[in-house]
Structure 1
């Protein structure tokens, strides 16, 4: 059995979750996969990267969860679902890529229901990053050069999309503390503080598994 950690990062829009994931990976000397996961899934499946990007963290329909569960329980591979609609194919191809990554190397994976895909992986550390609304709005204003109204709209719509995606495709609820090993408020500890907290948690959990 592999004994390396895999850390998944769920995040609210504007909470610096991606930056925290990247800095954590640097601290641990491992890779961080965000958009890079789409390119990898494209390479593994043969579907174009543009298709993965167009469907990235976007919900489709309410019966997809049961479809994924049925397919996963039967042990189907990419070749086993070629008759499915394209959105189903893309989700399952990404699902398999995440599981393959976890078996091959320690890494940080941002978003994309990675914690659900790896729910049976013993060395999974699932993290959720939140922040105060005013801090998220300020970050989005600066990053995108937009005003308060547009920043708030972006925050709300992105979180709604991520929540719908996660809740459709997993058996858990996005942002619910019961869905994660660790929840960190980046407004309280800052980006670097969040990295230190998560790193310490990873070290502690891995020591318990030895």
Structure 2
């Protein structure tokens, strides 16, 4: 079963978004990029991978964001790039890595504003995975061997970080239905059900001829 699409996955913490991504990649025989995005960005930029992990999906301040985006829009090279703070370099390297990976062919990318980085690509399918809070608490408590209270706190803090990061670095709102093509609940459909729903959606989209505007 082959596709031509790049699937980007936004996800609530504990919703099973990474597992959905892994099963989609296996189903279509394509690569999955989650933390692997950081490895590619580190390799391409020459920046230590641990630095990317330190800044992974964590919010920055609006002043830093404006500086980064100004530099990104104008291009960067030579001394301009060399003089950048490490935060700037990490942001630019990760976005460049996402685009480089996308240019290599179909794949699944989890998180890290991949949908925004690839918003001008015609073959991108952006989805958001969510689940009921109780289900997420049980999943996180089981995965990390935590009490329900600690699992709930971990979910709240992680979602807040992801939301802040996404809202700073994109022109959209994290978890907002209008920010993605489609949204799926693993509470309603289960992991395998969501995988099948996304697979059906991708295949249907690829068969529909785009209208001439």
TM range (shorter): over 0.9
Distance 1:77 1:188 in 2: 49
The Cα of 1:78 is off from its aligned counterpart by: 8.9
Structure-to-structure mapping, 1:121-132, within 5 angstroms:
121-132=121-132
Cα distance change of structure 1 residues 201 and 142 upon mapping to structure 2, 3 Å threshold: same
| Structure 1 runs not aligned, ≥5 long | none
Contact kept in structure 2, 1:177 and 1:183, CA below 8 Å: yes
Task: Point out where structure 2 has 5 or more consecutive residues left out of the alignment.
Answer: none
1:183 aligns with 2:183: yes
Structure 1 residues 68 and 115: CA distance shift in structure 2, 3 A: farther
Structure 1 runs of 4+ with >2 Å offset: 63-82
* Alpha carbons of structure 1 residues 82 and 208: separation in structure 2 relative to 1, 3 Å: farther
Cα distance in 2, alignment partners of residues 127 and 201 from structure 1:
10
Deviation at 1:76, TM superposition (A): 3.4
The 1:91–1:52 alpha-carbon spacing in structure 2 relative to 1, beyond 3 Å, is same
Q: Provide closer, same or farther for how the CA distance between residues 65 and 209 of structure 1 changes in structure 2, counting only shifts above 3 A.
A: farther
Find the residue that maps to 1:32 and give its secondary structure: strand
- What is the correspondence of 1:6-155 to structure 2 with a 5 Å cutoff? 6-76=6-76, 81-155=81-155
Deviations 1:36-76 (A, max 9, x none): 11111110000011101111101111134433433333243
Residue 159 in 1 paired to residue 159 in 2?
Answer: yes
CA RMSD in angstroms, aligned pairs only? 1.7
**CA separation of 1:188 and 1:56: change in aligned 2, threshold 3 A:** same
Name the structure 1 match of 2:174. 174
Give the structure-1-normalised TM-score.
0.94
Distance 1:161 1:80, change over 3 A: same
Distance 1:206 1:80, change over 3 A: farther
The TM-score, its normalising length taken from structure 2, stands at 0.93
